[in-house]
Amino acid sequence: MTVPYQPARLRQFLAELTRLVNDTAEEAPLLARGRPLLADLVRHDDWLAEPYTLPSPVRYQQYLLYADPLERFSVVSFVWGPGQQTPIHNHTVWGLIGMLRGAEISEPFVRTAEGWRAGGPSHRLRPGMVEAVSPTLGDVHRVSNALADQVSISIHVYGANIGAVRRSVFLADGTEKPFISGYSNATLPNVWDRSQETSAAA
Amino acid sequence: MTVPYQPARLRQFLAELTRLVNDTAEEAPLLARGRPLLADLVRHDDWLAEPYTLPSPVRYQQYLLYADPLERFSVVSFVWGPGQQTPIHNHTVWGLIGMLRGAEISEPFVRTAEGWRAGGPSHRLRPGMVEAVSPTLGDVHRVSNALADQVSISIHVYGANIGAVRRSVFLADGTEKPFISGYSNATLPNVWDRSQETSAAA
Ligand SMILES: [Fe+3]
Ligand SMILES: [Fe+3]
Ligand SMILES: [Mg+2]
């Protein structure tokens, strides 16, 4: 990282999300109030520690950054290597996707009698942009790294511990396959050590 | 670890503590309801991942396991090498100490005109035991590994993000030195991946 590391941004984001889920369990206000919080977070690219930015040559990485103990939300860093993409999949819970670095393409899908078909225009997300998914708004999409030669990173917030949610991948012929995504990482960033900044502020 | 790793115990403990701090901010019910939760956690020694059990030859280690984003509580693994001890110190917030492995000695102190003196009998904590500290109950103590040849581990819960709290170390002559403990670890255990156990339960 070439700029000073600012873990306080993630810490403040987690505090604000915790206040938000303490206030309401309804999707509409969660998305309405969560969206500007995530937009603020991804406006800067100086707070994500390096282990959570590393691509794998094998598949896109899903690094958990934080899970609410009551599983009301989770925050995940998705890291796309060049050319990587998800299968067509759903979420079953609300989600907010904020672009941090690079660019990704999200393609919405809808079910037809013949299988899954494009359900609207695909979106190109650039750094600072935020989009929402949910069973209410449209829950099925395929996401790809828009860049053939660079890593892209997006920060996802879900209305559950997404690593534990039973959801589905869809094949083009309409076949549905259950999956639980899990996480790529065994350890989470410790953004809670304020001994240096607290001392510095004294 | 020689027994199957059971991260669900820590996950459930964090959920119960989060419900507790959502219910009340008062010390008496927090300690009364927190104590049996911690006693349940330290009744088993199969849930703490190895990186958070490792002693340092230089000093006792304070591994953060979890911090509440609203800084209403934190959970820390204290790992004592043979012969290691803290200085005389306070906390300024409520704390619960649950013994997981080995044994430790806690010596209470009180201030006198001449400096700090033993403020009551010292306690020997054995696995499964829990004790409380707070400005109300008695906040100043010195803690030592009771074992000269083994590592001891206790699990501490504090009513704040303890790594950020301005508190004090006391010298025998009564001198007070401010300190902020910080944490020994840059990464926290990810106990939130339930993809295996969720699948296994299907
Ligand atoms: Fe998705
Ligand atoms: Fe202490
Ligand atoms: Mg509440």
Tens-digit pLDDT profile for residues A124-175: 999 999 999 999 999 999 999 999 999 999 999 999 999 999 999 999 788 9
Look at residue B108 in the predicted model and tell me its pLDDT. 97
The verdict on a CB contact (< 8 Å) between B195 and A163 is yes
Cα of B129 to ligand 2 centre, how many Å?
15
Residues whose CB is less than 8 angstroms from the CB of residue B8 and which lie 6 or more positions away in sequence, other chains included = B47, B191, B197
Query: What ipTM was reported for this prediction?
Result: 0.92
Residue B19 with chain A: CB contacts under 8 Å: 70
**Model pLDDT for residues B25-36, shown as the tens digit of each residue:** 999 999 999 999
Between the CA of A22 and the centroid of ligand 3 the distance, in Å, is 5
- Residue A144: what pLDDT? 97
Q: φ, ψ for residue B8 (rounded to 5)? A: -60, -30
Task: Sort out which chain A residues have CB atoms less than 8 A from B15's CB and list them.
Answer: 69-71
Instruction: Identify the closest residue of chain A to B67 by CA–CA distance.
Output: A192
Q: Which residues contact A57 (CB under 8 A, 6 or more apart)?
A: A81
pLDDT at A172: 79
Query: Which residue of chain A is at minimal alpha-carbon distance from B199?
Result: A180
Distance between CA atoms of residues A10 and B193, nearest Å: 21
Asked if pLDDT for residue A198 goes beyond 80, the answer is no
Residue range A184-202: mean pLDDT, rounded:
82
Query: Residue A56's closest CA among A185, A159, A193, A191?
Result: A185
Q: How confident is the model at residue B173 (pLDDT cuts 50, 70, 90)?
A: confident
What are the structural domains of chain A? 8-182 (2.60.120.10)
Q: Nearest ligand to the C-alpha of residue B86?
A: 2
Backbone angles phi, psi at B35, to 5 degrees: -60, -50
Mind telling me how many Å the CA of B42 is from chain A's nearest CA?
19
- pTM, two decimals, is 0.94
CA distances to A125, A160, B193 from B7, in Å: 36, 18, 9
Q: Is B19 on the interface with A (CB under 8 A)?
A: yes
Q: Does B18 lie at the interface with A, CB-CB under 8 angstroms?
A: yes
> Which chain A residues are closer than 8 Å to B183 by Cβ?
190, 192-193, 195
From the list B15, B163, B195, which residue is nearest A69 (CB)?
A: B15
Residue B3: pLDDT band with limits 50, 70, 90 = confident
Residue tagged 């590391």 (tokens): A5
pLDDT tens track for B124-155: 999 999 999 999 999 999 999 999 999 999 99
B101-114 mean pLDDT: 94
Nearest to A22 among B22, B64, B188 (CB): B22
Determine the Cα–Cα distance for residues B61 and B153; give it in Å rounded to an integer.
Answer: 10
Of the two residues A23 and B115, the one the predictor is more confident about is: A23
Q: Is residue B70 less than 8 Å (CB to CB) from chain A?
A: yes
Q: Give me the pLDDT at residue A88, please.
A: 96
Q: Is pLDDT of B202 > 50?
A: no
> What DSSP designation does B50 have?
G
pLDDT at B172: 79
Is B190 within 8 Å of A161 when comparing Cβ atoms?
Answer: no
Which positions in chain B touch A186 (Cβ < 8 Å)? 49, 189-190
Of chain B, the percentage scoring pLDDT greater than 90 comes to 90
Residue-level pLDDT at A202: 45
pLDDT at res. A75:
98
Please report the pLDDT score of residue B164 as a whole number: 95
